[in-house]
Amino acid sequence: MASIQIENVQKAFGKTIAIDQLNLEIKDGEFFTFLGPSGCGKTTTLRMIAGFYYPTKGVVRFGEKDMTRVPPEKRNTGMVFQNYALFPHMTVFENVAFGLKVRKVSSADVKLKVLEVLRKVRLEKYSDRQVSQLSGGQQQRVALARALAIEPEILLLDEPLSNLDAKLRDEMRAEILRLQRDYKITTIYVTHDQAEALSMSDRIAVFNYGVCHQVGTPAEIYNQPANDFVASFIGEINLLPVQVDHVEQEDIAVTLKNDGEPVKLIVHNHTNEDELNKGNLAVSIRPEAIRILDTVETGTNVLKGKIAAVQFLGSIVNLMVQIDHVSLKVDVLNTHEFGHYYQGKDVYVELPEKQLRLLPVISGEVNV
Ligand SMILES: Nc1ncnc2c1ncn2[C@@H]1O[C@H](COP(=O)(O)OP(=O)(O)OP(=O)(O)O)[C@@H](O)[C@H]1O
């Protein structure tokens, strides 16, 4: 079993609490991503799973086994570091063989295993090459091969693609996923890149300032963010501060906190009830979920506005629509003739009630 349980874990460095009250369960064979801005505690958590740090409080388990204070070499985890941490003066073969030799595997078996894993990462022809003579992408493959050679139960990847250019990054994303599926290995991937997290993961944990704010599939995180931090860290979003007027079965009636005329909206989708009874609230809606109506319409959540800016991005057109004192980002597909949307045009926009989400504001006031 290579599932991972993290129970009430805290890690302090002196007075800095790098991670607090963390509870996570990572399933056997899952591709799980830690996502968050720099300094949020992703690497610290990964290092506690690898055994390079021990938690200040709490328990780390692999399956049923308590691993909290087991040293790294006794954990059967393979790790790929951001800077690869390869031995530059050694050959590709020697780098990949290193972990096996430390584990006293016979030299005949070392040879077999190294060649097999080099084939998997498509580097068999480079076996005798010095690592310092390889490109960035090739070095990345050596680092992956070295981690996989020891047949770990768990693969830990700390921002493994951040030193590569955009094209190579795309290729290596696919390569890592192929290897992960091939080896069926529980994998934890650390990144601050939301596109990487959304496109690769089975599930994602979103961190900020040492706290995990949400765990979910990419679609859950994108469509049902737990709060304004998660909503705005992943993709573009409109966040509008509101007060709740009344709740009637599925419908929640809200009014925008707005300096001008009161704007009333009906919302269907919301975070759990407890969250809604405390603190500041906002409604969120993605730019692609807003509809621009070509004819004058009245109805629920239909508002009159004016196009304040148009940005042409090729397949989509990005509009800024001003509704009284509120600005909304709206994405429309580029299916109209050129000039259909222009600055100063009067428009009606619809904010579909199922796409509007009421959520708590945890990171201070939201700007309209
Ligand atoms: N060895 C250490 N000693 C003291 N403070 C540390 C140590 N390692 C991490 N920290 C602090 O703990 C917090 C979390 O750091 P961590 O490296 O886990 O963040 P991260 O999310 O991985 O960031 P990045 O993406 O920049 O690597 C930061 O405030 C950092 O300064």
**Residue range 234-293, pLDDT digits in tens:** 999 999 999 888 888 778 888 888 777 788 889 887 777 766 666 889 999 999 999 998
**In what side-by-side order are the strands of the sheet with 291-293?**
291-293, 346-350, 302-312, 316-323, 326-333
What is the rounded CA–CA span in Å between residue 349 and residue 283? 16
Contact 34, 190 (CB under 8 A): yes
> Ligand 1: distance of its center to the CA of 41 in Å?
6
**Residue range 73-121, pLDDT digits in tens:** 889 899 988 777 888 889 999 999 998 888 888 888 989 999 998 988 8
- The mean predicted confidence, pLDDT, of the chain is 90
Give the H/E segment covering residue 148.
Answer: helix 136-149
What is the atom index within ligand 1 of the atom nearest the CA of 47? 18
Interval 130-146 mean pLDDT? 88
pLDDT band for 340, please (50, 70, 90 cuts).
Answer: confident
Per domain, the residue ranges of the chain are 4-223, 228-360
CATH top class, domain 4-223:
alpha beta
The answer, yes or no, to whether any atom of ligand 1 lies below 6 A from the CB of 18, is: yes
> Ligand 1: distance of its center to the CA of 40 in Å?
7
The answer, yes or no, to whether any atom of ligand 1 lies below 6 A from the CB of 205, is: no
Ranges 288-297, 333-342, 349-358, most confident? 349-358
Interval 154-172 mean pLDDT? 85
| DSSP H helical ranges for 192-350 | 194-200, 218-223, 228-233, 273-276
ipTM of the complex: 0.95
Nearest alpha-carbon partner for 229 in 329, 362, 365: 362
The answer, yes or no, to whether any atom of ligand 1 lies below 6 A from the CB of 12, is: no
Contact 204, 33 (CB under 8 A): yes
Largest Cα–Cα distance of the chain, in whole Å?
A: 79
Determine which residue's CA is closest to atom 12 belonging to ligand 1.
Answer: 18
The CATH fold assigned to 228-360 is OB fold (Dihydrolipoamide Acetyltransferase, E2P) (2.40.50)
What is the rounded CA–CA span in Å between residue 158 and residue 16? 21
Quote the distance between the C-alpha of residue 57 and its chain's center. Answer: 26
Q: Which residues pair with 106 in a beta bridge?
A: none
Helix (H, G, I), strand (E, B) or coil at 352: coil
Enter the tokens of residue 12. 């302090």
Determine which residue's CA is closest to atom 7 belonging to ligand 1.
Answer: 13
Angle (CA) 60 66 67, round 5°: 65
pLDDT of res. 209: 93
Determine which residue's CA is closest to atom 29 belonging to ligand 1.
Answer: 39
- Does residue 364 surpass a pLDDT of 80? no
What is the rounded CA–CA span in Å between residue 218 and residue 367? 26
162 φ/ψ sector (left φ>0, alpha ψ -120 to 50, else beta): alpha
pLDDT of res. 70: 96
